[in-house]
Chain A
Amino acid sequence: MRTPSGSPTAARHVGVTADFLGMPSFPDAAREALGDTVQRRNLAHATGVIRGKRAKVVGELENWEELRLAAEAIKNRTLFQLDEHLVAFEAAATAAGVTVHWARDAEEANRIVVGLVRETGAEEVVKIKSMATQEIELNEALEAAGIDAWETDLAELIVQLGDDWPSHILVPAIHRNRSEVREIFLRRMGDVGRPAPEGLTDEPRQLAEAARLHLREKFLRAKVAVSGANFAVAETGSLVVVESEGNGRMCLTLPETLISVVGIEKIVPTWSDLEVMLQVLPRSSTGERENPYTSVWTGTTEGDGPQDLHVVLLDNGRTSVLADEVGRAALRCIRCSACLNVCPVYERAGGHAYGSVYPGPIGAVLTPQLRGTTSEVDKSLPFASSLCGACYDVCPVRIDIPSMLVHLRTRVVDEKRGGVPSAEQAAMKTASWVMGSHKRLANAERGAGVVGRALRRRGTTTLGSIPLPGLGAWTGARDAPVPPEESFRQWWERTDGGRSDDVDGTVDGTEGKR
């Protein structure tokens, strides 16, 4: 039987691990992605639909802004006393029958999970969609250890069978249309389990049914499941999984062993805090008042569900993010993906262009902080934005992504300082010198005015691309007006502060000087 995920996914290394592959910089990747008309059509349709749904259910609430402020405060409370909450969570979970493990990085987390699975003797696990496990590239580690990892979320199944990688936080296969999904199911389901039914059409209902049948046998026989968690309650040691399909419930209740990989920032302090989080998450993510299934469990329950429970608390760079006073706000993220759905850049470029398991606006601020800014792609991510701010408007925990992007741009630029100055740096230095003296600026404006006069005589009103180093890319996509014949200072001097102004530029004799 072929292994569940093919080698191309593993070779891409888009998680946060020690293995690094040079993904192309965002502009290069995006340029290519823009040519994928199928993806563009899918994304435009999908994000439009979700935006509408979200707007409707958010519009129903009178207190949406209060909810956002509460959610932001709850998450900040967590982060600013994170060590205390982690210790409390560990104590409560342990008392409830959970074994709590700690993982400093991806490699350690994978070693722990592989070890736990090996102890059960199982050769396969079923998985609930978990971004944390994608981040650490757990599936690849399990496979290297000879353990099959079956994704059970429909979109993750499509991605896995298609030897692909996720392009969206919530709907990872959104870059695929229905005929591609049908083709993937027909081609690959038989390799790893029950084949797709003959005569399978590309109707979503039939495709979902094919997935239901294919996965059911795996659910019913699995002994070990791996999950993440949307929230982990420090007060009680409870975990919360929010889902739509029911594959989560299958994985959380049928097997004997459940291993949950949870980022340390997923903690909320008290059980009552769930009343805020369970309002903002469904409305922000799938645009529903509540998602079909939310599972909450606090340790083991006799006669009901897995009796062997484990939680792996994952750092993997989060403590570095926490140390950055501006950047730490990104840890409030509850992975709703509202920012992706509203981003004009994401809508056109798609998730793969970001070269990370976390795409879109949140990916642009989280990935360079988790992975560092040494690779080409991570250096380019803070620039993958027009700073329109739509993401900040919709973020349920009020992460000021635009400010954070500017903060990270500063970091990237600062890291480039020293050595041979780039054309952009030289241009900036020159501009700074010119503007540093009013005489130099006045001279520059006079010179520009002469050029402007000459261009206008030729009938030119806007400048196209200016072929000077550092300016070509900037001006190629913008219309710069031709410099005016007279600068503001010259006009001010000539007209004595506008008192004797005349449209033709001559002095109005009747008004005279005052």
Chain B
Amino acid sequence: MSGAREEILARVRTALDDRPEVPEVPWSYGQPVSTGDLDPVARFAERVADYRAVVTLTTAAEVAQRVTEALAAAGAGRVVVPAGLPADWRPAGEGIELVRDDGLGADDLDAIDAVLTGATLGIANTGTIILDHGADQGRRALTLVPDVHVCVVRADQVVTDVPEAVGRLQQLGAHTRPLTWVSGPSATSDIELDRVEGVHGPRTLHVVVVEG
């Protein structure tokens, strides 16, 4: 194996013996980007809705209510909730059974209806939610296998565009955690380029945006 490593590196060095000049990148990293006529949170809500995810704006006091409504609308009974989810976000309602993730296997997760999480960041211009799979979000399989994902995003977690998101993730030290950037429900255009939603991954994405 080390034979291959040394040989490849030697080939690279030989290939570059014309010593091409290494360019500077003509770019200023981490800059905010305009969100047009709307403020970032409004832009975020608009762009998430563009992907045919359901968006609800609410206040801190009413999160649990909105979450309950979202789950009911999706017909979800068994809901897995990450251990670190704020307690006052937990839904309460007839027919909703909260399940803890204590080593649920893939097949167990398949029998779960929905997952409820927080988020790390929201990107306004692209309608993206970034998960770093911390305590309020749970490991990656949780937001992948169940068919319904209800995600709570706080207004102060919304940044303008990708450069700010990449910068903020590094500031938070979250950039080397496992990350999932979600921009709408799963989709494919592989058949005649006709976009179809919902292949693998949650087919229903409901985003609750919390202001104040």
Q: Which A residues are within 8 Å of any B CB, using their own CB?
A: 42, 45-46, 49-50, 66, 69-70, 73-74, 76-77, 80-83, 86-87, 90, 96, 101-104, 108, 152-155, 158, 171-174, 176-178, 181, 204-205, 207-209, 211-212, 215-216, 219-221, 236, 238, 244-247, 249-250, 252-254, 264, 271-276, 278-279, 286, 288-299, 301, 303-305, 313, 315, 319-320, 322-323, 325, 328
Can you list, as one digit per residue, whether each of B104-143 has a CB less than 8 Å from chain A (1) or not (0)? 0011001000000000000101111000010000011100
Can you list, as one digit per residue, whether each of B182-207 has a CB less than 8 Å from chain A (1) or not (0)? 11111111111110101111000000
B16 located at the interface, meaning its Cβ lies under 8 Å from any Cβ of chain A in the complex: yes
Q: Would you call A254 and B199 a contact (CB within 8 A)? A: no
Residues of A close to B167: CB separation below 8 A: 272, 275
Q: Which B residues are within 8 Å of any A CB, using their own CB?
A: 1, 4-5, 7-9, 11-16, 18, 20-27, 29-30, 47, 51, 106-107, 110, 123, 125-128, 133, 139-141, 144, 162-163, 165-167, 170, 175-194, 196, 198-201
Residues of A close to B23: CB separation below 8 A: 73, 76-77, 80
Q: Would you call A323 and B192 a contact (CB within 8 A)? A: no
Q: Would you call A294 and B180 a contact (CB within 8 A)? A: yes
The 8 Å CB contact of A73, one of B9, B26, B185, is B26
Q: Would you call A82 and B12 a contact (CB within 8 A)? A: yes
A301 to B188, CA, bound (A): 29
Residues of B close to A173: CB separation below 8 A: 190-191
A352 to B191, CA, bound (A): 18
Q: Would you call A291 and B188 a contact (CB within 8 A)? A: no
A216 to B146, CA, bound (A): 12
Q: Would you call A155 and B190 a contact (CB within 8 A)? A: yes
A96 to B62, CA, bound (A): 41
CB distance from B161 to the nearest CB of A (A): 8
The 8 Å CB contact of B176, one of A42, A294, A298, is A298
A205 to B123, CA, bound (A): 29
Residues of A close to B26: CB separation below 8 A: 66, 69-70, 73
Closest to B47 in A: A289
A181 to B15, CA, bound (A): 45
Residues of A close to B1: CB separation below 8 A: 101-102
A319 to B47, CA, bound (A): 42
Contacts A246-B186, A295-B179 aside, 14 further interface pairs with beta carbons under 8 A come to A45-B193, A70-B25, A101-B1, A152-B200, A208-B196, A236-B176, A244-B188, A245-B186, A252-B140, A271-B175, A292-B182, A304-B141, A305-B140, A319-B11
Q: Would you call B181 and A102 a contact (CB within 8 A)? A: no
Q: Would you call A293 and B181 a contact (CB within 8 A)? A: yes
Residues of A close to B178: CB separation below 8 A: 295-298, 301, 304-305
A70 to B166, CA, bound (A): 16
CB distance from B145 to the nearest CB of A (A): 8
Q: Would you call B144 and A249 a contact (CB within 8 A)? A: yes
Q: How many A-B residue pairs have CB under 8 A?
A: 249
A–B complex contacts, Cβ < 8 Å, 20 sampled:
A69-B27, A76-B23, A80-B21, A102-B4, A104-B8, A153-B190, A158-B190, A209-B198, A244-B188, A244-B189, A247-B199, A249-B144, A249-B200, A272-B167, A290-B123, A290-B181, A292-B186, A298-B177, A322-B12, A325-B18
The 8 Å CB contact of B110, one of A49, A74, A155, A220, is A220
Q: Would you call A249 and B196 a contact (CB within 8 A)? A: no
The 8 Å CB contact of A83, one of B4, B12, B179, B184, is B12
Closest to A323 in B: B15
CB distance from B53 to the nearest CB of A (A): 10
A288 to B191, CA, bound (A): 17
A278 to B164, CA, bound (A): 12
A102 to B123, CA, bound (A): 37
Residues of A close to B191: CB separation below 8 A: 154, 158, 173, 176, 178, 181, 204, 207-208
Q: Would you call B196 and A313 a contact (CB within 8 A)? A: no
Residues of A close to B201: CB separation below 8 A: 245-246, 249-250, 292-293
Residues of B close to A298: CB separation below 8 A: 175-178
Residues of B close to A219: CB separation below 8 A: 106, 200
CB distance from B197 to the nearest CB of A (A): 8
Q: Would you call A315 and B170 a contact (CB within 8 A)? A: no
Closest to A205 in B: B196
CB distance from A180 to the nearest CB of B (A): 10
The 8 Å CB contact of A323, one of B7, B14, B139, B177, is B14
Q: Would you call B162 and A103 a contact (CB within 8 A)? A: no
The 8 Å CB contact of A46, one of B15, B47, B166, B193, is B193
A219 to B145, CA, bound (A): 10
